[in-house]
Amino acid sequence: MKKVLLTLLALTLLAAHANSCAAADRAGMDSSRRWIDRPWEIRYIMFVGESEMMAAMVAAARKQNLKTMRSESRDTYIDANEFFEPFAKLKAGPAATLGIFVIPFDKDGRIGGASKQLRMLRGRHNLLDHMVAVDAESDSGKLYYLADWSQGIPGNDMFSPAVCSVWDESRYGALWNDSDHAGGFGCREWTAQLYQDDRPYIDVTSYSPHGSFIGNFVGWSRFIDPRKPVIGLQGKTWLCLHDCPPGEQPGLIPDMRKWTAKHHYPMPEQPSHQPLYPNSKYLDDIDEADRR
């Protein structure tokens, strides 16, 4: 039953995003293939979620992509989630396994990593503020949607621009509740920590009234950013997920106090609330932008 529910949720999310992208493309007169003229800046994009959810997203993307390619309608994007395997599985306690898929880029935007299909592609940033992947040699052929390039709140550069995902479309809206399994940590919280020069790591924990866990999110980093370990708390278990300190691999952090002392880091602190940057805190700025 759980697997069926996860698959249905994944299909709903992917279909909703495909529809919104197609509508944006129609309005933008094929701006999906007009590139932002600036050097490629992103070193990696990583996708994290419960292992079963990640597998469901891969299966749902494959199913949705077949439907899109067989349809007479011209949808702009093919969903790159189809190629998010093999993804790394990280044991995060007796009842939790995380799925982690990292897409590394070189400075020309060419994709590396474990997926043979993705290695034939390169990253592009289009005029619709979408991060897409296209054929590395010709820029032609299918467009694979990776993530959104969110400009955030007008006039606020604390957490934007940011690489965001479909999960973030609801995370910062009025209907969000703290029992959502995706978690209160999202792309704005990630980016705020990435941009803080004096912060040595990125804590991806969703601190919920029901307990601490690592939810669904997308993370990223640029070539100009210092490498920051990505850490998170699942129940009572601390983990390093990516860019761990030299000599360390992703996995369990047995003692967080000893680990932070060893690397001269401060102990992680639980924020007062999450999400930290919901739209409701910036309604005046959003309304002003809408009136322009």
DSSP single-letter state for residue 113: S
Q: How many CB atoms lie within 10 A of CB 197?
A: 8
Put simply, whether the predicted model's pTM sits higher than 0.75 gets the answer: yes
Order of strands, sheet of 251-253, starting from the edge strand that comes earlier in the sequence: 202-203, 230-234, 237-242, 251-253
Q: What is the DSSP letter of 76?
A: S
State whether residue 216 is helix, strand or coil. Answer: coil
pLDDT at 168: 95
Distance CA 5, CA 2 (A): 5
How many other C-beta atoms can be found within 10 angstroms of the C-beta atom of residue 258? Answer: 10
CA angle 263–264–266, rounded 5-degree value: 115
Spatial CB neighbours of 267, under 8 Å, sequence gap ≥ 6: 256, 257, 260
Dihedral class, residue 125 (left if φ above 0, else alpha if ψ from -120 to 50, else beta): beta
Q: Which residues of the chain have pLDDT under 50?
A: 1-8, 20, 23-25, 27-29, 289
pLDDT tens, residue by residue, 42-57? 999 999 999 999 999 9
Per-residue confidence (pLDDT) for residue 290, from 0 to 100:
52
